């Protein structure tokens, strides 16, 4: 078995255990394998081990990988999206998790309208108010979600966050709770369609266990599957 296949197996077992111990069904939790900066060959290994959903941060890289792997993979875009890349993003990705401003909503909607398609999206929330991170501030989430109601080609399915990093994952718990509360507010106000399932994309290699305990439905995991990332070239 390859290391990647082994890591995936351990991870699935761990997700399963944490879900059950949190009184959740393991199939509520979808694993997004974050393959940014890893080669297509690494993704092929994960595919062979049954992993078909991948997360990418750079749109050109995502497009190249989609071209190589085609419909065998589903790609989630989890990086900062520029408006001039909206068309490629809409054509390449199965979900964009990082909607954070009206401008990107308008650009994506225009391309989706031309292509006569819909796209699942999440709004990225910058819970720590960190200036170096993308995402909208919590107090502005509702107005962005309201704005998005006029752009129905984007199907808003929930929220995503990347909280401030702390070595102690327990300290991220309040952030995960806040994201969940925000999503519940939006849903109560009818801003997430009439979804029976609201997506919460939260939790990475070092804190996914806390995220699952707090209701994550999508966890984005890179290093725990693929190992240390190669440096930016």
Decide: is 220 part of the binding site for ligand PLP (CB under 6 A): yes
Identity of the residue, 59 or 204, whose beta carbon is nearer to ligand PLP in the bound complex? 204
Interface characters, 157-186, with ligand PLP (x: CB under 6 A): -----x------------------------
Q: Enumerate the β-bridge partners of residue 75.
A: 54
Question: Minimum distance from CB of 226 to ligand PLP (Å)?
Answer: 8
Decide: is 109 part of the binding site for ligand PLP (CB under 6 A): no
Q: Rounded to the nearest 10 degrees, what angle do helices 141-148 and 173-188 cross at?
A: 40
Decide: is 222 part of the binding site for ligand PLP (CB under 6 A): yes
Please identify the residue of the shown chain whose CB is closest to the bound ligand PLP: 222
Identity of the residue, 113 or 170, whose beta carbon is nearer to ligand PLP in the bound complex? 170
Decide: is 57 part of the binding site for ligand PLP (CB under 6 A): yes
As given in the structure block, the two tokens for residue 177 are 């709770």
The span from the first CA to the last CA of the chain, in angstroms, equals 29
Q: What is the DSSP string of 179-201?
A: HHHHHHHHHHTTEEEE-SS-EEE
| Cα dihedral 133/226/45/232 (nearest 10) | 60
Residue given tokens 């801003």 in the structure block: 191
Decide: is 65 part of the binding site for ligand PLP (CB under 6 A): no
Identity of the residue, 158 or 222, whose beta carbon is nearer to ligand PLP in the bound complex? 222
Backbone angles phi, psi at 194, to 5 degrees: -115, 65
Decide: is 205 part of the binding site for ligand PLP (CB under 6 A): yes
Residue-wise burial string across 14-36, b where 16 or more C-beta atoms lie within 10 A, e elsewhere: ebeebbeeeebeeeebbbbbbbb
Decide: is 204 part of the binding site for ligand PLP (CB under 6 A): yes
Judged by CB under 6 A, the stretch of 23-31, 102-110, 165-173, 217-225 that binds ligand PLP is: 217-225
Decide: is 221 part of the binding site for ligand PLP (CB under 6 A): yes
Judged by CB under 6 A, the stretch of 42-50, 99-107, 131-139, 222-230 that binds ligand PLP is: 222-230
Decide: is 8 part of the binding site for ligand PLP (CB under 6 A): no
Name which of 76, 88, 92 is nearest 32 in CA terms: 76
d(CA 87, CA 153): 13
Residues that bind ligand PLP (CB under 6 A): 34, 36, 57, 78, 162, 204-205, 220-224
């Amino acid at each position: 078995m390859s290391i990647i296949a082994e890591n995936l197996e351990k991870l699935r077992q761990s997700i399963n255990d944490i879900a059950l111990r949190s009184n959740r069904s393991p199939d509520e939790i979808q694993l997004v394998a974050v393959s940014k900066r890893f080669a297509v060959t690494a993704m092929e290994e994960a595919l062979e081990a049954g992993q078909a959903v991948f997360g990418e941060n750079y749109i050109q890289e995502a497009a190249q990988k989609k071209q190589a792997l085609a419909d065998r993979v589903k790609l989630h875009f989890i990086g900062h999206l520029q408006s001039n890349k909206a068309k490629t993003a809409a054509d390449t990705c199965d979900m964009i998790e990082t909607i954070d401003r009206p401008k990107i909503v308008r650009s994506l909607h225009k391309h989706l309208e031309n292509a006569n398609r819909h796209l699942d999206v999440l709004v990225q929330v910058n819970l720590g108010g960190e200036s170096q991170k993308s995402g909208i501030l919590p107090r502005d989430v509702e107005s962005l979600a309201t704005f998005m109601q006029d752009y129905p080609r984007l199907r808003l399915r929930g929220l995503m966050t990347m909280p401030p990093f702390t070595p102690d994952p327990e300290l991220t718990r309040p952030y995960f709770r806040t994201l969940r509360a925000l999503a519940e507010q939006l849903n109560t106000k009818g801003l997430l369609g009439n979804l029976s399932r609201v997506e919460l994309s939260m939790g990475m290699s070092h804190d996914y266990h806390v995220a699952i305990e707090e209701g994550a439905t999508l966890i984005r995991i890179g290093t725990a599957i693929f190992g240390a990332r190669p440096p930016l070239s």
